A and B are shown apart, each in its own frame.
Chain A
Amino acid sequence: MTNQDKHVAELTRDHSDHQQLLDQDTLISVKNVKKYFPVKGGILKRTVGHIKAVDDVSFDIKEGETLGVVGESGSGKSTLGRVILRLLEPTDGRILFEGADIAHIGNRKMREHRKNMQIVFQDPLASLNPKMSVGELIEEPLLVQTSATKAERKQKSIELLEKVGLRASDRTKYPHEFSGGQRQRISIARALALNPKFVICDEPVSALDVSIQAQVLNLMKDLQDEFGLTYLFIAHDLGVVKHISDRVAVMYLGRIAEIAPKDEIYKNPKHPYTQALLTSIPVVDTGEDTIQREKVKISGELPSPADPPSGCTFRTRCPFVHDRCAAERPELKETENGHYVACHLYT
């Protein structure tokens, strides 16, 4: 009981902060963004349908905040990250970065914004050009975006290498000479070279050993504090996101199922899918603190995004499915302070 009270108090504080900061401190605002990939068929390669990789997604991220995005493979989370960075063209919707809509601006204008937004990819080997030395890799953003001299670039790359826990002498080495964790540090150094405000982390630790994951996560957290970075942190399980996020969004089949402050998601998950994801995290039973959660199990595969179920897209796997789910698509609605969920159980 006391626990519950404390929890509510915490929430209200969080919420008041949220309200206060909402407008002036929103760094990036995604509004109704859609990304449909056409499906071509027949001899004439006519568009016969669409894969709705990202379907009507909206959220805000405040400056200095970390929004975790969680979902299984094919939920559209990586596509969402790429659309925000305009590595993929959004089909529809608006992306406001520092108040400016970047969803449909030309490449030249977009180049200016790229200084402020960067990405760290999942596979640190695939995301580093194998033919470039570490120095070249880290200095490339400076070369492309600034007029820094060779000496300045070298200086900066050494600084960055030391920031991410590598040595200055590593500058002349090549990516193949490093371990996975070290490569991811190089990726991070490269992403930070231009002092961006916003970094999309596309499953940055999924390819790493568990012991290394924690190190890299801690590094990212330290760098966030030091440089005041804003993260969009994509992951496929709630376990990793827990350490780094302020808020968490759960995606299912291109849509946001639930979005809430971190503590809310973990202690009071509302959407059956979120509950199922939490059930899947192995828990060490320490006897006292373990929250007794109802076990929600789902089975089956993610339906094809080319042909999603009518109404609620989760209904085919939902243990609480009822008639309304097939008929009507649940909207993302606020149930409590800052806790949004798209499920008919709560309306």
Chain B
Amino acid sequence: MQSTPQHTFSTDPDNQPQDDQLKSRSPFQLAMRRFLRNKLAVISVFVILIIIILSVMAPVFTDQDPEQTDLFKIEEHPSKENILGTNGQGQDNFARLLYGGRVSLIVGFSAMTFTLLIGVVLGSIAGYYGGIIDNIIMRAADIMLMLPFLVLALTIMAIVDRVTIPFFITIIALTTWPSLTRIIRGTYLSLREQEFVLGARAIGASDFRIVFKHFIPNAIGPIVVNATLMMASYIIIESALSFIGFGIPQPTPTWGNMISEAQNVRILRDHPEAWIPPGFAILITVLAINFIGDGLRDAFDPKSSQR
């Protein structure tokens, strides 16, 4: 008698039958619930939000102009006026850190959106129609993947006089689209054989409807996850290119060209306040975005998190 199972009175919120009967949850709502249960991912969302607020509202936090050079204040140590000191052109490091976040986030987000657009369109066409069209698109993707990204990007940057932010974003998107396109195509190829797609064709649904109502909602997991992880890698790419001087040029502040100051041994040794904060900012941002990506993957595909 004592061994009567007690778990029927479990306090676990998931085991409340009444609640479930009253309210049914869509697959998207279920994914959201799983995401919100992932602490690391939720904290990362807040971290990213703080970084966005800091950079978007930069004028609130500093009254210094990040592009204003001052030859009388070169490489100064931190002071009340310049919290993180100044760089080799006398620009305020703190202001550049805040405004630089704008560039990194804009580059990351826009390049991701652009790549997503190319990837969804080309991946959908290739994955849905298959055959010759698929072959053409995928061989083009192979050629792009074959070219080493860095060499290609450097060549293009070297040819152009002045690299603007939109140009930079375009270059990144046009050189990195194949990976996302492949993922989307691959997902479609497996979806195409699903019976519900045949069912949609059996009722006479148009190709457009099948792609938008049946393929994309079922491929949204891999698409969102990979797009997120890609955004992190774009922020790294921007920093890396700026670091070696082929990114977005001065006087526009970016985290990458702030770190490039540290190429100078004197600054590396004597002015850690000039390069540690931007380095840390890149680290935190990329890490947070990756955690969000992982959280999304676990949320959309619960099987992947069952360790």
Contacts and interface: CB of A to CB of B under 8 A. Distances in A.
A121 B195 contact: yes
20 contacts: A82-B198, A110-B204, A114-B202, A118-B203, A119-B199, A121-B198, A121-B199, A122-B195, A127-B198, A130-B27, A131-B28, A133-B26, A141-B204, A144-B206, A172-B24, A173-B24, A174-B25, A176-B27, A177-B24, A194-B203
Interface in A96-139: 110-111, 114-115, 117-119, 121-123, 126-133
A174 B195 contact: no
A129 B24 contact: no
A87 interface: yes
A145 interface: yes
B198 A111 contact: no
Contacts, number: 72
Instruction: Describe B's contact surface by its main secondary structure.
Output: helix
A145 B196 contact: no
Interface stretch (B87-95, B210-218, B249-257): B210-218
B199 A131 contact: no
B204 A144 contact: yes
A130 B31 CA distance: 13
A122 B196 CA distance: 11
Given A127-B199, A140-B203, 4 more contacts: A123-B195, A126-B194, A126-B195, A144-B206
Q: Which range holds the interface residue count of chain A?
A: 20 to 34
Contacts of B162: none
Interface in B1-36: 24-28
B170 to A, nearest CB: 33
Contacts of B28: 131
Contacts of B198: 82, 87, 119, 121, 127
Contacts of A187: 199
Contacts of B202: 85, 87, 114, 117-119
The 7 closest A-B pairs by CB, nearest first: A114-B204, A127-B195, A131-B217, A111-B204, A141-B203, A173-B24, A126-B195
Contacts of A133: 26
B203 A126 contact: no
Nearest to A87: B198
Nearest to B29: A174
Contacts of A87: 198, 201-202
B276 interface: no
Contacts of A128: 196, 199
A144 B28 CA distance: 24
Interface string B26-69: 11100000000000000000000000000000000000000000
B203 A144 contact: yes
> Is the interface on chain B under 10, 10 to 19, 20 to 34, or 35 or more residues?
20 to 34
Given A129-B218, A130-B27, A177-B24, A140 B200 contact: yes
Contacts of A82: 198
B209 interface: yes
A126 B196 contact: yes
Nearest to A110: B204
Nearest to B207: A107
Contacts of B145: none
B283 interface: no
B158 interface: no
Interface in B155-187: none
Nearest to B217: A131
Contacts of B205: 140, 144
A200 to B, nearest CB: 9
B204 A115 contact: yes
Given A87-B201, A141-B203, A144-B205, A127 B196 contact: yes
A129 B204 contact: no
Nearest to A140: B203
B30 to A, nearest CB: 8
Contacts of B206: 144
Nearest to B203: A141
B75 to A, nearest CB: 57
Contacts of A119: 198-199, 202
Interface in B198-239: 198-206, 209, 213-214, 217-218
Contacts of B196: 126-130
Contacts of B214: 129
Nearest to B198: A87
Given A82-B198, A121-B195, A145 B203 contact: yes
A84 to B, nearest CB: 11
